[in-house]
Amino acid sequence: MPEMHFQVRWPDGAVQNCYSPSLVIHDHLEVGIDYPVEEFLAHVRTALAIASERVRAKYGFSCTSAAATLEAIETTAAQALSSSGTVRVLSMTPPSVAAATPKGRS
């Protein structure tokens, strides 16, 4: 099962490195986009739940690393919810197929 890392910048400027056991994050977030904190949190909760279920389907248990990532994000989000700022997705590794395809090629 392919895994990925994604990096976000919170409204206070702090950068957080995150992990997903699945590439499903690409279906819920986009690099370079600013998300209101609550919207970002909703996308991440959904994506990491799907990722964890994919691990459960393949290995018979959920992914504790996905749960730890979500817990860390929720802790940071709780502090950021009082701000009117946004969360920016800085990077995803590996990139999506669309992002990795040079323009003009398929």
Site of tokens 């393949």? 58
Does 105 fall in a domain?
A: no
Structure token digits, residue 27 = 């279906």
**Structural domain count of the chain:** 1
Confidence of residue 77 (pLDDT cuts 50, 70, 90): very high
What is the reported pLDDT for 99?
53
The string of pLDDT tens digits covering residues 22-39 is 999 999 999 999 999 999
Does 65 fall in a domain?
A: yes
What is the reported pLDDT for 18?
96
Q: Which domain covers residue 67, as residue numbers?
A: 4-100
Task: Convert the chain into a string of H (helix), E (strand) and C (coil).
Answer: CCCEEEEEECCCCCEEEEEECCHHHHHCCCCCCEEEHHHHHHHHHHHHHHHHHHHHHHHCCCCHHHHHHHHHHHHHHHHHCCCCCEEEEEEEECCCHHHHCCCCCC
Does 106 fall in a domain?
A: no
What is the reported pLDDT for 98?
62
Q: Which of 22, 15, 26, 24 is nearest to 87 (CA)?
A: 15
